[in-house]
Structure 1
Amino acid sequence: MNIENIEAFVYVIHYGSFNKAAEVLYLSQPSVTARIQSLERELDCRLFDRVGKQTSLTDDGKKFLPFAQQLLQTFQKSKIQLKQKRTLPNELRVGCTVSVSNYIIPTIIPKLKHKYPDVNYKLSTAASEDIINRVLNRELDLGFVRNISHPNLLSAKAYDDPIRLYVYAGHPFTQKAEVSLEEIGEYSLVFFECGSLDWMRIHRLFASMKQPPSIEFQTDNLETAKKLVLQGAGIAFLPSLCVEQEVRDGKLFPIDFPQTAGISLQTNMIALNGENAIFFNSALDLCKGIAQSIREHI
C-alpha cells in the first residue's frame, strides 16, 4: 500500500477539500484525485461520495480513517527517529561537579540512555571553571556547573538545591519548631565549603555574633560533611539533595532557620551555542523532575 495515497486521503479529510489538500501537499488537484482513486482500488471500496463539488466520506471511508491516521503517524514518527539516529553522535561527553556526579548524574544518565540507546556516555568530574573551559574547547558536549553566563555558551538553570540546617537523630533541635542564630552557636558545626556566593552568605550570618559557632570540621566534600553529621560530630548546613535519602530514613532532620530561607545552590547546564540541543533539552527536562522531587521532600 502506497503511503502517499494514505497521506492524500488523510489530508483531504483534515483540510476539507481536494483543492486545499493539493495546496498543502504541493500537488495538483488531479494528482490528489488520482492518489485517492488508486487507494480505493487497493482497498476495493469507495472512500468518498462525490455529488457535484461536494465530497463526503462513505461508511467504508469512516471505518478506514482511524487506521489511515495511525499508519501515517507511525510512518512520520519512524522518519523522525531515523533522521535523529543519523544526526546523533556515538558518544556524549558530560562534565559535572562532584555534587552533580554523586546525586544527579546517576538519575539522569540511565534515562538518557533509555531514550538514546545507541549513544555511549563518557562522564568527567571537575570544578565548574574547568568544565566551562572544556566545553568551550569542545572537549565536553554538556556541562553541569554553578550559575554562570558566557556569550558563547547556551546556559539554563537545571535546578535549585535549597540549603538547610541538618542535625542528627536525637539532637535537641529535633524537638524545636525553629531555632535562633544564638542557639546554633552553642553546638559544634561541620562546615561544607565550596567557595560559592551561597556559602559566603552563610558565613556572613555568623560574622556579627559575639560568640560565633565553633567550626570544628571544615571540608570541601559533601559526603564527608554529611557522614560527620550522621556520626554526631556536629550539625551542618547542607544542600537538600545530598541528604534526601537520609531524611527519608529518619537519620537526618532538617531544622527551620529563617535566616537561610531562600539560600540555595543553583546548578546550570551548559553547551556550546547551537550544538547538542537534543541532549541539552532532554537533560533539562529530566532535571525539572529532580527539582520537583526536591521540593516535595524538603
Structure 2
Amino acid sequence: MNIENIEAFVYINHYGSFNKAADVLYISQPTVTARIQSLERELDCRVFDRLGKQINLTDKGRQFLPYAQQILQVYQNGKHQIQSKGQIPNELRIGSTVSVSNYLMPQLLQHLKRKYPHIHFKLTTSSTDSLIEKLKAKEIDLAFIRKVVNPAIQSFPFCEDPISLYVYKNHPLARKGLASIQEIREETLVFFECGSLDWMRLHRVFESMEQPPDIVYQVDNLETAKKLVLGQAGICFLPALSVQEEVEAGTLIRVDIAETEGISLRTSLISLNGENAEFIESLLELAVGRSKPDRLLV
C-alpha cells in the first residue's frame, strides 16, 4: 500500500477538500485525486462520497481512517529516527506567543544552550495562527502556542498558567485576599484581551452577572495591563507567570474568586510530525520540573 495515498486520504478528511489537501502537501489537485483513486482500488471500496463541493467519508472510509492515521504516524516517526540519528542542526528556530516569549522563553533558551552549547537559537514572536503557518512552511522548527489540531503537527501540552484577579497593594480587596464576582461590579476593571478561548471563559462569567463589571481599559498587551494596575488605574485578571516578580515584591496582590477558579492559559509545544524529537524531549523534561505558578500537564 502506497504511503502517499494514505497521506492524501488523511489530509483530505482533515481539511474537507481535495484542493486544500493539495495545497498543504504541495502537489496538484489532480495528483491528490489520482492518489485517492489508487487507494480505493487497493481497498476495493470508495472512501469518500462527493456531493458537489462537499466531501464526506463513506462508512468504509470511516472504518479505515483510524488505521490510516496510525500508519502515517508510525511511518513519519520511523522516517525521522532514521534521518535524524546523530544529526544536530547548527541553528534551532523557535516560535512563541508574546506571553511565552516574555515570561518563559529566557529560561527555556538558557536550558537549551546548556544542553546544546554549539547550537545557535533564533526566536520569533508572533500570534498562534502566524506561528502555525510558519511551522508548516518550515520557517521555524518548534513553537509554543495556545492550541492546534492539525494532522501534520504534533502537539504536546507544556504548561497551564492560572488566571486570577490581581489588585494593587493598597486596594481594599488586597487585605481580604478573597472576593465574590459580585464584589467587583463597582470596580474599575482593566481587561487583557488576547482572543483565546481561555479568556472567553471570563467573558461568559461576566455575561452571567446581572450587572457586569465596568471594563474601562481593554488592552492587548499584558505589560500594559499590569502597569495600569500598578498605577492604581484599576484591577485586572492576569496569568500568574506575568506577575511573578510583582507578587514576590508585594506590589500586586492576588484575590481569589470562586466563580473564576480553574480558568488558565494553556500552552502547547508543537512541531511537524516526526521532527525535532530530541529537542522536544529536552523541553518536556524541563516542563516536568517546573513549579508554581503555572500548573503542568506533562
TM-score by length of 1: 0.69
Whichever residue aligns with residue 183 of structure 1, its letter is E
Alignment correspondent of 2:264: 264
> Is 1:220 paired with 2:228?
no
Cα deviation, residue 291, structure 1: 4.5
- Structure 1 window deviating more from structure 2 (84-93 vs 128-137): it is 84-93
Are the equivalent residues in 1 in contact too, given 2:240–2:293 (CA < 8 A)?
Answer: no
Distance 2:136 2:123 in 1: 17
Alignment correspondent of 1:150: 150
Q: Secondary structure at the match of 1:134?
A: helix
Identity of aligned residues (%): 52
Q: Deviations over 1:57-114 (max 9, x none)?
A: xxxxxxxxxxxxxxxxxxxxxxxxxxx9951000000000000100010011011001
Alignment correspondent of 1:253: 253
Are the equivalent residues in 1 in contact too, given 2:159–2:268 (CA < 8 A)?
Answer: yes
Cα deviation, residue 213, structure 1: 1.2
Whichever residue aligns with residue 156 of structure 2, its letter is A
Find runs of 4+ consecutive structure 1 residues off by over 4 angstroms. none
Q: 1:214 to 1:104 in 2, by over 3 A?
A: same
Cα deviation, residue 295, structure 1: 5.2
Whichever residue aligns with residue 280 of structure 2, its letter is F
Distance 1:150 1:141 in 2: 16
Q: 1:219 to 1:177 in 2, by over 3 A?
A: closer
Distance 1:263 1:294 in 2: 12
| 1:180-191 matches, cutoff 5 A | 180-191=180-191
Q: Deviations over 1:185-206 (max 9, x none)?
A: 1110000001011111101112
Q: Secondary structure at the match of 1:163?
A: strand
Q: 1:87 to 1:161 in 2, by over 3 A?
A: same
Distance 1:155 1:85 in 2: 22
Alignment correspondent of 2:171: 171
Larger Rg: 1
Cα deviation, residue 293, structure 1: 5.2
Alignment correspondent of 1:162: 162
Cα deviation, residue 294, structure 1: 3.3
Cα deviation, residue 212, structure 1: 1.7
Distance 1:106 1:290 in 2: 14
Distance 2:287 2:233 in 1: 33
Any stretches of 5+ residues in structure 2 without a counterpart? 1-83
Q: Secondary structure at the match of 2:111?
A: helix
| 1:98-117 matches, cutoff 5 A | 98-117=98-117
Distance 2:115 2:210 in 1: 56
Are the equivalent residues in 2 in contact too, given 1:161–1:266 (CA < 8 A)?
Answer: yes
Distance 1:195 1:295 in 2: 21
Cα deviation, residue 207, structure 1: 1.4
Q: Secondary structure at the match of 1:87?
A: coil
Alignment correspondent of 1:125: 125
> Is 1:286 paired with 2:293?
no
Q: Secondary structure at the match of 1:269?
A: strand
Are the equivalent residues in 2 in contact too, given 1:108–1:287 (CA < 8 A)?
Answer: no
Distance 1:201 1:269 in 2: 23
Q: Secondary structure at the match of 2:205?
A: helix
Q: 1:295 to 1:136 in 2, by over 3 A?
A: closer
Distance 1:260 1:212 in 2: 14
Cα deviation, residue 211, structure 1: 2.4
Distance 2:236 2:103 in 1: 18
Q: 1:100 to 1:276 in 2, by over 3 A?
A: same
Alignment correspondent of 2:200: 200
TM-score by length of 2: 0.69
Query: How many residues are aligned here?
Result: 213
